[in-house]
Amino acid sequence: MGGWELKKWVFSLLIIVCLSLLSNEYQAKAAANTANDSFSAATSIKFENGTARVNGELTRLSNTDIYKFTLSNAGKVDISINRNVNTQYRVTLYNSAQRELERYESALSNDNEMKLLFSQGLDAGTYYVKVEPYKGVTDQVSYTLGLKYTQSNYYEKELNNDRNTANSISINKKYYGFADTSNDYYAFTIPSNGEVKIDLSQSSTTIFEVSLLSGAGIELETYDSSFSSNTNTIIHTGLPPGNYYLRIKSKEGDLANIPYEFIVNFKANNLFEIENNGSTSFANEISPGQIKQGVISSSADVDYYRLQVEKNTNFDLYITEPKNATFKVEISDKLFNVDEEIYTEYGNGSLSKISNITLPQGIYFIKIQPSQGVSRNVQYNLRIADTFSTDITFYKDFRPGEYWVESFTWGINNNILTGDKQSNRLNPNKNITEAQMLAMVLRYAFPNEAKDSTSGQWYNNYYEMASNKKIEVTNKPNSPLRRGDVAKILAKVYTGKNMTEQESVQWLYTHDITTGINPSKPKNYNNFNPDGKITRAQAITFMYRLSQKGINPQLK
Minimal CA–CA distance to 540: which of 444, 468, 396, 460? 444
Please report which helix (H) or strand (E) contains residue 389, including its range. Answer: none
| Residue 34, in any domain of the structure | no
77-116 confidence digits (pLDDT tens) = 999 999 999 999 999 999 999 999 999 999 999 888 899 9
Check pLDDT > 70 for residue 8: no
The whole model's pTM is what? 0.73
CA distance 493 to 440: 11
Q: How many domains, in total, are found in the chain?
A: 4
DSSP 338-352: EEEEEE----SSSEE
Check pLDDT > 90 for residue 240: yes
* Same domain for 202 and 133: no
Check pLDDT > 90 for residue 367: yes
pLDDT at position 14: 54
| Residue 399, in any domain of the structure | no
* Same domain for 423 and 532: yes
| Residue 410, in any domain of the structure | yes
pLDDT more than 90, % of the chain: 76
CA distance 462 to 308: 35
| Residue 277, in any domain of the structure | no
| Residue 522, in any domain of the structure | yes
| Residue 276, in any domain of the structure | no
pLDDT at position 21: 44
397-427 confidence digits (pLDDT tens) = 888 878 898 899 889 888 899 888 778 899 9
| Residue 326, in any domain of the structure | yes
What is the distance of C-alpha 177 from the center of its chain?
15
* Same domain for 503 and 411: yes
* Same domain for 209 and 100: no
Q: Which domain holds residue 204?
A: 167-268
Minimal CA–CA distance to 302: which of 217, 369, 227? 369
pLDDT at position 359: 95
What CATH number is attached to the domain comprising 95? 2.60.120.380
Edge to edge, the sheet with strand 194-201 lists: 174-179, 258-268, 194-201, 231-239
Average pLDDT, the chain: 91
* Same domain for 444 and 381: no
The last residue of a domain, from among 103, 122, 151: 151
CB 275 within 8 A of CB 239: yes
| Residue 275, in any domain of the structure | no
